[in-house]
Structure 1
Amino acid sequence: MAKVSVIVPAYNSHDTLATCLGSLVHQTLQDIEIIVINDASTDDTWEIMKRCKGQFSDKVRIIDGKVNRGSGGARNQGFDAATGEYIGLVDSDDYVAPNMYELLYNQAKEGDYDIVDSGYYKESTDKAILSTGDNVTGTLDDEKRNILIAGGGYLVTKIFRRELFNCPPIRMRENVRCLEDTEILIYMILRAKKIGNVKEILYKYCDIKGSATKQIDLKVYLDSVVGAMKAIYERCAHLSEYEGAKESIDYMAAVLYSYGINRCLFENIRKYGAKKEYIDKYFLGLNDTQKEYLKSLYGIKEQCFSFLYDKNYIIQQKLAAIDIAIMKKCDQIHKG
């Protein structure tokens, strides 16, 4: 059994996959398993994968997906194949530091952690982020879980004990263009007993022009928002830790709700300007698609969350006043 299985979904990754895999096959951690899934690419991604497998057959496993299932579906094939004690995730257009998985694994073993997080560097903004500070490491309680969930973060900067994905089985939503892993990170934080960190920037995010998340139309984006809101509730509400983290989970649902509403109202917000006195005008002259999605967003919010804006301290602290006012107006319109 490998110490860490690293799962890499790849779709039409000609320009980036070699750099990504190069950063993985030369990891200082020796007992590593790199599982690369070809998500029915139409370029030479599969050929690149086969060459890498031929050169590093002791470390690399490749899967040729015949049907495009999106990054979530490709990752699911990786989860099913993984044998590692811990699981890491890397996107095919990113790369990692050569000692990333040795540092994360050693920290996981030292503290008997279910999750270990590291820092993240975004090239396009020249910013480095560490989502898991020392204040939330160790044995998790309600306060730490609320801080972690409200703080966001990324699956790809972490390793997870494999049992978190398998006992019971949890998999990602498939054929989703964005937000496909929103509920998974919340689920993992609720399920984990202990979390650790490595305070180094180990994951490098490359903001590739033309990537899948940058070419999303209104319907696809709003379907993703609605799907993510549903999935948070369906995947997490039954867990015993849910109630203790409800403030932060409701905040995350409110963020999605706000994203969806603002996307529907985008043209009017741009037309009138982002000022509270124009909020009523934002909801005028919408087409049928926009109206239907606003109704759907409200329905999911009421069915699954029904958060109280003025009593949720995280919403009050983290969301802009105008966004809260827009959400309240949407609620008012649809309550009748």
Structure 2
Amino acid sequence: MQKFKVSIIIPVYNTEIYLRRCLNSCINQTLDEIEIIVINDASPDKSYIIMQEYEIKYPEKVKCIYLQDSVCPGGARNFGLQTMQGEYFYFLDSDDYMEANLCECMYKKAVELNSDMVFCDHYAEMADKTVSKIINFSQEKMRKEYLQLLILDASPCGKLFHHELLKRHNIYYPENMFYEDTATTPVWTIMAQSYAKVNNALWTYSWCGSSITRSKASQSNDLQRIKAVEIFYNNCSKVKINDKFKCEIEIYALSRIIDSIISIARKFDYLECASIFKIKNAIIKLAPEYKTNPLLTYVFFPYERRILNDIMEEKLKETILSDEFNHKYVHNKTDEIELYFEEHKDYIKNMMVAFKEKGYDEITLWGMGVIGKALYYSITSLGFKLVAVDNSSKVYNIKLMDGNIIQYAQNQKGKNKVILITNQRYYDHVNTHSAGAKIIDVMSCLKLKQNIKSILEE
């Protein structure tokens, strides 16, 4: 029997100005049986003074650990995992904060459905202090088919894990490295036998504090993501899930490899030959037969697949200027997205037919950015009609190539039965203005190859 229902684990590094807000949000939780474990990762600021204050004021709830040498967030979290006494554990970054009912809502959901993992929606606080709600999935009942999207989100934040996941398999974070989330959190996600979701935003991610850095930028730091992927793969082997989830594991590894390449090209003037060589070796080791993976064309845009192919075929093997790399692979985004929808036009056609069979004659597409416009033209080229809407004054009232006008979203309130979106972030805003409408995230449906008819029946 565990002493607490939930252990909140908070690594602290250089977040003195946000720490009180974070700790207050934990202290004010409506669930009483919690412990708050705060680990000072040799932070150079005065965070330790704030920690001491809370430790003295709330001795029954707050436990502080002070490290003399930094072990990075992964190592700090490990100290929390090794000392926690909770039935479930939850990670919170020290510049983020919780709603007062987070622990209560997530714990109740976990117990009610006997779930290994519970997650929720969240708010994003931008540098200008504006806050927007981020919806992860609209469906409450989680199924294994969501796995590939779940593991693509490597962050441990916003997720409540059962301590048995840790006890059964003894998987901890790597220490003294960047991108430690990549190596561990997805393994717990795959190992979870059951998922649940609370359909409320219960914590806030702060972009204000996310710029805090620990060291000078270098390509070797970015390539630590590759090292983290290799540790992830080894962890999957350790718990014997490589064969059962081969496709998902490969896709996850490749997604992080692509992230590394594009990140380097954005941050530095050139992509080093040594970096390309290391990336190629990682692909050979982790996903040598990636071209046969059935999820490949659904999860990755064509330009991302070309990057992988050109590295493997040694068309991209020498040091290359970032401007040249971006021009060749990234900057033609509109064409690449149009090609992506062309590859999946049969799925899109079947989706629209399913809507018609259900009696949904007027379909609305919300959001007319680059992806939205590409999807609009893909659907209308198949002979189906759409109402295009957007909430931005820079976009609505613009005439499309087929002569239709992009409508102002506010004027469509209550008129829509089915609304298509291309970004999960639109969900809350769309739902506010179109309560009762069936909202379909087309990009998620494509990546999951979901059966639209089953979604319409939910």
Match for 1:326: what amino acid? I
Report Cα offsets for 1:237-273 as digits up to 9, x if no partner.
34344333222221121112212233444589x9xxx
Displacement of 1:216:
5.6
SS in 2 for 1:154: coil
1:323 equivalent to 2:304? Answer yes
Displacement of 1:182:
1.3
Q: Which residue of 1 aligns with 2:322?
A: none
Match for 2:139: what amino acid? D
1:292 equivalent to 2:294? Answer no
**How far apart, in 2, do the equivalents of 1:41 and 1:239 lie?**
34
Count of aligned pairs:
312
Q: Which residue of 2 aligns with 1:165?
A: 166
Percentage identity across aligned positions?
A: 27
Displacement of 1:53:
1.1
Q: Which residue of 2 aligns with 1:129?
A: 134
Give runs of aligned pairs for residues 246-257 of structure 1, distance below 5 A. 246-257=246-257
**Structure 1 length as normaliser, TM-score?**
0.85
Give runs of aligned pairs for residues 1-336 of structure 1, distance below 5 A. 1-124=3-126, 126-134=131-139, 137=142, 141=144, 143-150=145-152, 152=153, 154-177=155-178, 179-208=179-208, 211-212=211-212, 217-266=217-266, 290-309=272-291, 311-333=292-314
CA-based RMSD of the aligned residues comes to 2.5
Relative contact order, higher structure (CA 8 A, sep 6+): 1
Contact 1:37 1:65 in 2 (8 A): yes
Contact 2:140 2:199 in 1 (8 A): no
Q: Which runs of 5+ in 2 are unaligned?
A: 318-458
Contact 1:114 1:195 in 2 (8 A): yes
SS in 2 for 1:28: coil
Displacement of 1:312:
3.0
Which one has a bigger Cα radius of gyration?
A: 2
Displacement of 1:183:
2.8
**How far apart, in 2, do the equivalents of 1:22 and 1:184 lie?**
28
**How far apart, in 1, do the equivalents of 2:172 and 2:155 lie?**
16
SS in 1 for 2:169: coil
Report Cα offsets for 1:206-263 as digits up to 9, x if no partner.
0125734597623343332221220121111343443332222211211122122334
**How far apart, in 1, do the equivalents of 2:210 and 2:226 lie?**
24
**How far apart, in 2, do the equivalents of 1:264 and 1:47 lie?**
37
SS in 2 for 1:121: strand
Match for 2:186: what amino acid? I
Contact 1:173 1:180 in 2 (8 A): yes
**How far apart, in 1, do the equivalents of 2:161 and 2:124 lie?**
22
SS in 1 for 2:94: coil
**How far apart, in 1, do the equivalents of 2:171 and 2:310 lie?**
36
Match for 2:205: what amino acid? Y
Report Cα offsets for 1:140-182 as digits up to 9, x if no partner.
64x34334324x26311011111212223211111223x2111
Report Cα offsets for 1:40-78 as digits up to 9, x if no partner.
112211110010111111110111111111111111100
Q: Which residue of 2 aligns with 1:279?
A: none
Contact 2:250 2:286 in 1 (8 A): no
Instruction: Compare 232-241 and 248-257 and name the one that shifted more.
Output: 232-241
Displacement of 1:14:
1.1
Contact 1:254 1:315 in 2 (8 A): no
Displacement of 1:128:
2.7
Q: Which runs of 5+ in 1 are unaligned?
A: 271-285
Match for 2:290: what amino acid? L
